[in-house]
Each structure stands twice: as C-alpha cells, then as structure tokens.
Amino acid sequence: MKKIVVYFIACALAASAWSCAEEGPRSKSIFEDPVMQPGSLDQWLLENYTYPYNIQFMYKLRDIETDRGYEMVPAIPDKALAVAKILKYMFYEAYDEVMGVDFMRSHSQRVIQVVGSGAYTTNTVKKGSAESGMKISLYLVNDLTIARVNQEVLSEFYLKTMFHEFSHILHQKREFTTAFKQITPSEYVNDEWMSDGNTLEIALQKGFISRYARAEPHEDFVEIIAFYVVKPDGWWEEQKRLAGDPGASLLDAKLDIVKSYLKESWALDLDVLHAVVQRRFSELGELNLEDLLK
C-alpha cells in the first residue's frame, strides 16, 4: 500500500513539474503593444515627437484618455499624420527656430491627443481642450481636407489652440505683472463671455481681442499671444480699427505688457515668432502631408 501511495505522489509531482514547465513565464507578455513596423505612423510619431521632444502623440481613441461625457470618433490615420506634420512644422519647429531646440523639450505639453470628431454633447461641441499643462486634445481632425489646407482653417482649428495652451504653461511657471489685470479690471465676466451680450464687436470695443478673452485675465493674456502669432500681417491693426476708442488703446496697452513679459521672462521676441510663423505659412505648400517618408 505504501508503495502505491509513493507511486501516486511521484506521478503527481511529475505532472505538476510538467504543468509548470508548460505554463511558465513566456518570452513575451500578452499585454505588450504590437511591435512597431518600420515606416508605420507609430514609428514616425516616435521619431518625430517622442525622441526629439519627449511627447506622446496619440491618435487611437483610448478610453482611459477620453472624456466619456462626450461622443467622439477616432482620427483617421492619414488625417492624424497630416495634423502631426502641420503641428511639428508650424508650432514646434517654429519655436525651435526662435528659441533653440531645448525650449520645447523643457516646457511643452507631454501628451497630444487628436480626435476625429468634435467633442459633442446635446448643445455644444469642443474644438480643443487641455489638462494642467500636461496634455492637449485637438478635435475635428477628420474634417481636415489635406489638399486644401490654408492659414485660416489651420489657425482656427489647431494652431491657435496650441499657442494659446502653451502660453498658459509659460505664465504658470513665471507669472506676468498685475498691471495687465488693471487695464480692464471691471470688464471680465467669467462664464458670461458666451452670452449674447458679449459679441466680438463689444469685446473689441472694451479692449479684448476675442469674446473668450473676457473670461478672466489669464485667458485674456494668452488669447493675445495666440491671435498675434497666427493671424497675418495687418490683422492686429484691423482689429484696432474695428475697436475704435478707447478699445484700440486698451488693446495696445495689453500687447505692450505681453511683449515685455515674454522678452524679460523668457527672452522670447513675439514679433520674431510672428514673422517665423507667417513665413512658415507661406511655405506650407512645400510640406508633404501624406507621405511618411518625406
């Protein structure tokens, strides 16, 4: 009887050893991402965003990175590539040209997410959003017509948002003077900036470059930077003409403080950045937005 028991124990141990050998650690985790293929969009993003700028550029719609309060669809890869190339050329490399390559490596958002649709609710649609200076989301990427990109469309849907949100990072690290807030101290209206009583015409007359600039002083500050950089030569003077008095003088007083702040706090010349961005707009037709290898 003892021999039989020993025999069964030996068999059990042998079976256990065989089972463990079969179910032991595998050479690859089942949770690893697929291997990136040379020439793939993922590889291009790695080489053009992650390696040079330490930025994760996401175009696949992941639940963990998405606000479930909105209905959204993922970006078409070809459209995501086009937007990635535009942002690299018009935003990151523009700053590289003016400030040197280390500037954006040190201060840029760490995550860029592009989404195919807008972020829809019953009554609203968002074109862009940002989270604590670490992540920026751009929407409506699938609406981009690659063959007909132009300054107005790119500025409105993508570039103005990028310059706006990046300027928030700058003032969060080094605050601007309180003198800016005292130029139009009683005209900030918080969420009421969306009201019918705050038209663009009224905002300009009160010394604000956009309706949204009336939300609060920090939004006012970064709106000036974003519009000044992406809009063509002569646009600022035209807004002053539309603003009349005293709106025009208020706009110039704010712009003077913005320029001084950027020069003194960051050694950044806003007029030089504007000129570089405008030149790059004129060269945009030479950029191949569809070929991964060019």
Is the CB of residue 75 less than 8 Å from the CB of residue 118? no
- Nearest residue to 69 (alpha-carbon basis) of 120, 125, 131, 141: 120
Fill in the amino acid letter for 197.
G
Output the CA–CA distances (angstroms, integers) from residue 270 to 53, 142, 151, 201, 262, in the order listed: 22, 31, 19, 25, 7
Give the predicted TM-score (pTM) of the model: 0.84
pLDDT by 10s per residue, the chain, length 294: 544 444 444 444 444 444 444 444 444 444 345 555 656 999 999 999 999 999 999 999 875 455 555 667 899 999 999 999 999 999 999 999 999 999 999 999 999 999 998 765 555 555 566 766 789 999 999 999 988 889 999 999 999 999 999 999 999 999 999 999 999 999 999 999 999 999 999 999 999 999 999 999 999 999 999 999 999 999 999 999 999 999 999 999 999 999 999 999 999 999 999 999 999 999 998 999 988 877
How open is the CA angle 161-158-153, to the nearest 5 degrees?
125
Plot region of 176 (φ>0 → left; ψ -120 to 50 → alpha; else → beta): beta
Bridge partners, 129 (sequence order): 137
Domain positions in the chain are 41-286
How confident is the model at residue 220, as a pLDDT? 98
How confident is the model at residue 38, as a pLDDT? 58
Q: Which residues contact 105 (CB under 8 A, 6 or more apart)?
A: 52, 53, 54
Q: Which residues contact 121 (CB under 8 A, 6 or more apart)?
A: 69, 70, 71
Strand-by-strand arrangement of the 128-131 sheet: 56-58, 111-114, 135-138, 128-131
How confident is the model at residue 249, as a pLDDT? 98
Instruction: Give the integer Cα–Cα distance in Å for 2 and 264.
Output: 90
CATH number of 41-286: 3.40.390.70
How confident is the model at residue 16, as a pLDDT? 47
Instruction: Give the integer Cα–Cα distance in Å for 100 and 52.
Output: 12
* Collapsed DSSP state (helix, strand, coil) of residue 43: helix
Plot region of 190 (φ>0 → left; ψ -120 to 50 → alpha; else → beta): left
How confident is the model at residue 2, as a pLDDT? 47
